[in-house]
Amino acid sequence: MRRIYLVNRGLIFAIAAALAFSIMNLLVKELSTSMNSGEIVFGRSIVGLIVLLFIMKVNNIEFSRRDIPLLFFRGTVGGTSMLLIFTAIAGMHLGDVAILQQLSAIFVIFLSAIWLKEKIPAKAVLPLIIILLGTVLLLRPWEYNSFSFYAVLVIISAMLAAVAYTTIHKLFQNGGHNSWEIVFYFLFCSAIIGIIIMMATGKYHMPNHYELILVIGIGLLSLLAQTLMTQAYGSANTVIVSFVLYIGIFFNALWGYMFFAEIMHKLSIIGGILIIGGSIYLTLVKNKVRKDKKRHLHKNKEIIN
């Protein structure tokens, strides 16, 4: 009974996280009509930093003095990924953006093989091909109007997000770090990136009351979503949570339809199904490989003992 309760609670957290992220994207798209992505990234990061530093102060959470270059690297690639996503949201359908973001799963596989020396499972080849096919259908490169600059930005953002995820894994492997510290460097670097973009483009202004409300909402929703997602993974099976989080694609498509009259192309829907299905298949393969590795290590320990 206790196990069922934890799973249910984890699923609720996962759905709430997906909903919070999708509403954040909705606010970003609305705000992009009057503010550029540099301003939005800067505002979002400042709000996040204020709340985060307050939380760390109240809970007496201290910064480590280890892996500083790696922390700044993670913050920079994560901040750049966020900038590209916010830029793409302004010019693409919310549903398409949410689907293309799932490509980070592919990049994580390859980066783990290169950086962390983890082998790519043979069974991962099929889902990778399925995801690639879905991406082609979603982008439709044979149609000039559909294969846009914004789509390329989302793909680059997914790759950078994968770099950030892999870096976080490396930081936790090294030890001595907490999640709040890692998020702090991400927000700090993101704020710097926002300032650089604003100065480079010369496009920045003091937000009016409506814009300020949206910026604060984006910052708070982002932190809330991250917290809910962490709670979800801590309360339920990681594979199940990963599947449930895909509901965020539905939320994004729904907001796009309701507020911006966005209707997804039929090939985008088919491509999205292939990407989601391939990602689920890939997650199952990765989970099985992880379990087999743990089982193998456990057997070796038993033999040694």
Strands (E), 172-276: none
Q: What is the pTM of this model?
A: 0.85
Going residue by residue through the chain (305 aa), what tens digit of pLDDT does each one get?
555 444 577 788 889 999 999 999 999 999 999 999 999 999 999 999 999 999 999 999 889 888 999 999 999 999 999 999 999 999 999 999 999 998 887 887 787 777 766 677 788 888 888 988 988 888 777 765 556 889 899 999 999 998 988 888 788 878 888 888 999 999 999 999 999 999 999 988 999 999 999 999 999 999 999 888 878 877 766 667 777 888 899 999 999 999 999 988 888 899 999 988 888 888 788 777 667 666 755 565 555 55
Place of tokens 């783990």: 112
List, as one string, the DSSP characters of 270-288.
Answer: HHHHHHHHHHHHHHHHHHH
> Which amino acid, one-letter code, is at 216?
I
Q: What are phi and psi for residue 263, nearest 5 degrees?
A: -120, 125
What is the domain range of residue 158?
2-304
Structure tokens belonging to residue 296: 């193998």
In the 8-state DSSP scheme, what is residue 147? Answer: S
Total tally of structural domains belonging to the chain = 1
Return the H-helix or E-strand segment holding 50: helix 37-58
Reported residue count of the chain is: 305
